Chains A and B, each alone.
Chain A
Amino acid sequence: MPFAHPKTGPLMTMQPRIPPVAVTAYQCVSAAGDDAESLYLSLIVNRSCLKPLRLFEIPFETLVGEVTSPLPDFRPSLKAYDSRNARLALKALDQGGFRSNVEHAIASHGPGRVGLVLGTSTSGIYDSENAYAHFQSKGVMPAGFQFLKIQTAQATAEFLHLELGLQGPCYSISTACSSSAKALGAAQRLIAAGFCDAVLVAGVDSLCRLTLCGFNSLQLVSPEACRPMDAKRRGISIGEGAALLLLERLNPENAVRPRLLAVGESSDAHHMSAPHPDGAGAVLAMSQALQLAGRDVSQVDYINLHATASMLNDLADAKAINHLFPKPPPCSGVKGLLGHTLGASGAVEAVVSLLSLERGFLPGTCGYEQPDPQCPCPVIATPLLDQRPRLVLSNAFGFGGNNASVLLEAF
């Protein structure tokens, strides 16, 4: 007898309220390596990729998930968009044939039918910080610095749009750490409402002084590699990355691809930088995702936790899951491996979840050793191989109490 939860209604009567879309390709550049394959290997090995910061100096101790391999150059005509953030996106685009997947979508649907939605929290601020240093010493911004093409939230989206010759809608969502999870939702709606047949979703964030020093000022940064859900967790480790997902309207050609079923969204209405203590907003986001998809809590096989390893966040995560799931499925969080990639994390962890669905394993929780009795969640410490998850929830919760929960299903 399937469990019928009051929040999601009886299993038998539920119909999807938004059409699912196919995820026809995905890629990811992260501290684990340059592509989704290296991310997969890293998830299986479950050894932290967090290291001391190399990109710039900071006045405190921490480890970060930095992309240390060389980043690609820009074509001269798009040089005005050249930022570390856009370079990470360009690097991801050129991994594993992802660019040709987008070109195939453009050829089959037409450039005006392919859109782009990008999630980021700080966009090209790393490069702006360097421009501010120039301003401080010389009294002027560096020649060629274009605010709209480097710093504002849509800069990297506009770059990718031009780089690929897309002509569909193009915008960025910037809701802190839920940004790219929400971008997945916006992209699904663009397809459902008939504006697009395919949408490139990007989650991109790059290391910068603003986030490192900002989170440190909030006393949220861990001096050691972060330990999500662990009783002795001491805060977050920050990472960077670019994850790209190509979403397409369902058709016979993509019938064997995994699907994005829905993205549930909510607001905590509680505090700018602390989650609701009971995880009320997280419960709303997860139950809305299930409701939109016509799925029931009993059908979820795995939850990719937000689990930043801050004291309050992990507590709220665990409470929310225990509130919504009478018998929670296995859960894990990957930020001990990659760091918290902030606005990119929704898309990065959607890629983690897709790898789990397609390769048949459940990721572990790197850094998790001692269960926190206050977070009674079935946390997986080490990866579980030979699994067959079909339905996966991936959570992303951000500043401002902005929550998104992404529901993905195997074909």
Chain B
Amino acid sequence: MECMSLLGYSACAPDPGLRASLPFPVFDINRDSIPPMLRRRTSQATQIAFSVASAVCVETQRSAAALPAVFASVAGEIQTTDLLCTELVKPEGVISPSAFHNSVQNTAAGYWSIAQQCTQPSSSLAAGCDTFAMALLEAWCQLSCHGGELLLVCYDERWPAYLDTVRGELAFACALVLAAEAVDGAIAHIGRPHFDAEAFSALFESLAARTPVLAVIPLLGLAAAGGAAQNIPVSTVVPGWQARVSPLNTIPAPS
């Protein structure tokens, strides 16, 4: 496979300050994207993941039922897991059965497949600060081996502050629809992920270090702004995983 085609993307952040600071369009949680049955019992993680996954399917006019999915998150359902751990260490703690099955890392992926009636494979992966990079690599491997298109969703909800004093303060999700090879309708081509030493954007470095899934900023920023092809980091770890991104036919965003 020579490259992946980025067919479209969407991004979501509940925090207005974060939304305003990112160099591509970002919206708030869209509750309409979550089936009414699930609205009250899903976490922030699942809600932001659904918001971006639904939006990108609309944007790219793809049927969610037809797309294999790669979900990626550093901490998954950490708020639900935190509640369970707090109960577990109390002498009379109560464990809710639905909280338990909603604590697995593939909760968002599972509900997505159920809501969309999608029987295609879905994966849930985690790789710390390399989470977006490894998700992109997994996407590359799936498209390279099986062809077609897939949905990549990368997200993290807010983490309880006492678990990590540095990271996890801001929730963010993004979704990308990717296709094998150069295809019609691509807004950018993404080259083979590789190890390199290009520095992460100085403007966003500290933000991404505190919210590891924001390692997607340079890629989505370039796809949104257009311009010349560039080798860009897809992880905040440098030297580390990078990919050559070639924007196509995009109109520069108004400044």
Q: How many cross-chain pairs have Cβ atoms below 8 Å apart between A and B?
A: 190
From 124 to 171 in chain A, residues with beta carbon under 8 angstroms from any chain B beta carbon are 125, 128-129, 132-133, 135-136, 140-141, 147-148, 151-154, 157-158, 169-171
Stretch at the interface among A71-79, A185-193, A363-371: A185-193
B114 near A401 with CB under 8 A, answer: yes
Identify 24 residue pairs between A and B in the complex whose beta-carbon atoms are under 8 Å apart, listed by A's number: A17-B145, A136-B90, A140-B162, A152-B74, A152-B75, A154-B131, A171-B130, A173-B125, A174-B104, A175-B106, A182-B123, A193-B1, A193-B140, A213-B95, A213-B100, A214-B97, A217-B95, A217-B96, A218-B100, A267-B120, A268-B113, A273-B101, A281-B119, A402-B109
Which chain A residues border B96 with CB–CB below 8 Å?
Answer: 217
Interface check B122, CB cutoff 8 A: yes
From 394 to 411 in chain A, residues with beta carbon under 8 angstroms from any chain B beta carbon are 398-402
A148 in complex: contacting residue of B103, B128, B195, CB < 8 Å: B128
Q: Mark A207-251, 1 if CB is under 8 A from B, else 0.
A: 001100111111100000000000000000000000000000000
Q: A129-B85, A173-B124, A214-B97 given. 16 additional CB < 8 A pairs?
A: A121-B104, A141-B163, A147-B75, A171-B130, A174-B76, A175-B109, A193-B141, A193-B144, A210-B85, A214-B84, A214-B95, A214-B103, A216-B95, A269-B113, A399-B106, A401-B113
**Contacts known (A132-B85, A399-B110, A400-B109); A169 close to B104, Cβ less than 8 A:** no
B145 near A153 with CB under 8 A, answer: no
A267 and B70 alpha carbons, distance in the complex (Å): 12
B142 near A189 with CB under 8 A, answer: yes
Q: Mark B234-252, 1 if CB is under 8 A from A, else 0.
A: 0000000000000000000
A402 near B122 with CB under 8 A, answer: yes
From 79 to 100 in chain B, residues with beta carbon under 8 angstroms from any chain A beta carbon are 81, 84-86, 88-90, 95-98, 100
**Contacts known (A18-B145, A214-B84, A284-B119); A272 close to B128, Cβ less than 8 A:** no
Closest chain B residue, CB of each to CB of A176:
B104
Which chain B residues border A48 with CB–CB below 8 Å?
Answer: none
Interface check B211, CB cutoff 8 A: no
A190 and B81 alpha carbons, distance in the complex (Å): 31
B104 near A148 with CB under 8 A, answer: no
Interface check A393, CB cutoff 8 A: no
B130 near A170 with CB under 8 A, answer: yes
Which chain A residues border B86 with CB–CB below 8 Å?
Answer: 132, 136
B122 near A267 with CB under 8 A, answer: yes
B114 near A135 with CB under 8 A, answer: no
Which chain B residues border A24 with CB–CB below 8 Å?
Answer: none
**Contacts known (A136-B90, A171-B138, A174-B105); A210 close to B84, Cβ less than 8 A:** yes
A175 in complex: contacting residue of B74, B88, B105, B146, CB < 8 Å: B105
Which chain A residues border B74 with CB–CB below 8 Å?
Answer: 148, 152, 154
A269 near B114 with CB under 8 A, answer: yes
Closest chain B residue, CB of each to CB of A167:
B195
Q: Mark A249-292, 1 if CB is under 8 A from B, else 0.
A: 00000000000000001111111110000001100100000000
A182 and B142 alpha carbons, distance in the complex (Å): 12
- Contact residues of B with A, CB < 8 Å? 1, 74-76, 81, 84-86, 88-90, 95-98, 100-107, 109-111, 113-114, 116-128, 130-131, 134, 137-138, 140-142, 144-146, 159, 162-164, 167, 195
From 354 to 393 in chain A, residues with beta carbon under 8 angstroms from any chain B beta carbon are none
Q: Mark A178-213, 1 if CB is under 8 A from B, else 0.
A: 000010001001101101000000000000011001
A272 near B111 with CB under 8 A, answer: yes
Which chain A residues border B159 with CB–CB below 8 Å?
Answer: 147
A219 and B134 alpha carbons, distance in the complex (Å): 36
How many Å from the CB of A403 to the closest CB on chain B?
8
A169 and B134 alpha carbons, distance in the complex (Å): 7
How many Å from the CB of A345 to the closest CB on chain B?
14
**Contacts known (A129-B88, A170-B130); A400 close to B119, Cβ less than 8 A:** no
Interface check A112, CB cutoff 8 A: yes
**Contacts known (A210-B103, A218-B100); A186 close to B138, Cβ less than 8 A:** yes
Closest chain A residue, CB of each to CB of B212:
A148
Which chain B residues border A399 with CB–CB below 8 Å?
Answer: 101, 104, 106, 110
A153 near B121 with CB under 8 A, answer: no
Which chain B residues border A176 with CB–CB below 8 Å?
Answer: 104-106
Q: Mark A23-62, 1 if CB is under 8 A from B, else 0.
A: 0000000000000000000000000000000000000000
A79 and B164 alpha carbons, distance in the complex (Å): 18
Which chain B residues border A133 with CB–CB below 8 Å?
Answer: 89
Closest chain B residue, CB of each to CB of A151:
B163
Which chain A residues border B131 with CB–CB below 8 Å?
Answer: 154, 171
B119 in complex: contacting residue of A151, A170, A172, A266, CB < 8 Å: A266
